[in-house]
Amino acid sequence: MQKACVLCSREMGRASRDAVRPGIDTRTLCLGCEQHFLAQCGVSLDRYLKGFSMPVVVVAPDGRIVLANNDACEMLHKTPLQIESRLGGDVFECEYARLPGGCGRTEHCKGCAIRMTVMDTMVTGKPHHAVRAHLNPHLPDRSQCFLISTEKRGSIVFLGVEPVRDKSVQPTSACSACL
């Protein structure tokens, strides 16, 4: 499978699931962008992700989640390989992502607060903080409420996800069931 850098889209050749350098996932970042991120932020992307005190996933321009910190992996009950290169609705197990068309292509996805917030940050560069979003609000046993925050660095968006444990929080008209 051909891989491309998530920051510059430079083709990186064929990648195998075990092609990893310590501390950096070579399947998502080319050496030039790794060095640029290090110079811009003063730390590697891997270390930058570990510095967050909340679950954070990295979203590529095509909407796929390419990296996640340990907190996000624990929250989602998934390994990094189960997250890499998958659409958000699939990673977060949105019921609507299972419909024909999949994540991002159902009628429910148009009003998805998570999707709209990430894409707004992707297009405008504007960060968002503590936006309320719901996943599967029409399924009481699977409903989840989150406060999400976004920040753009280069061509990727960092999506912070804070689960809201209070079951009394109800979906608002701005929330959607689809990620």
| pLDDT confidence of residue 20 | 42
Task: Please give the average per-residue pLDDT across 146-151, as a whole number.
Answer: 93
Q: Where do runs of H (alpha helix) occur along the chain?
A: 31-41, 45-50, 70-76, 80-83, 88-91, 113-124
Q: How far apart are CA 29 and CA 45, in angstroms?
A: 9
Among 88-97, 102-111, 125-134, top mean pLDDT goes to 125-134
Side-chain half-sphere CA neighbours of 109 within 13 A: 22
Q: Name which of 178, 163, 173 is nearest 114 in CA terms.
A: 178
For residue 89, CA distances in Å to 39, 85, 157, 173 come to 33, 12, 16, 19
Asked whether the predicted pLDDT for residue 137 surpasses 80, the reply is no
Q: Chain-wide mean pLDDT for the chain?
A: 79
Residue 28 — pLDDT band, cuts 50, 70, 90? low
For residue 138, CA distances in Å to 12, 96, 134, 141, 171 come to 42, 11, 10, 9, 9
Paired with 21 in beta bridges are: 24
Task: Please give the average per-residue pLDDT across 36-41, as a whole number.
Answer: 80
| pLDDT confidence of residue 92 | 86
pLDDT in tens, 78-103: 998 888 888 988 898 888 888 888 88
Q: How far apart are CA 79 and CA 105, in angstroms?
A: 26
**CATH superfamily to which 52-179 belongs:** PAS domain (3.30.450.20)
Report domain extents, the chain.
Answer: 1-51, 52-179
Paired with 66 in beta bridges are: none
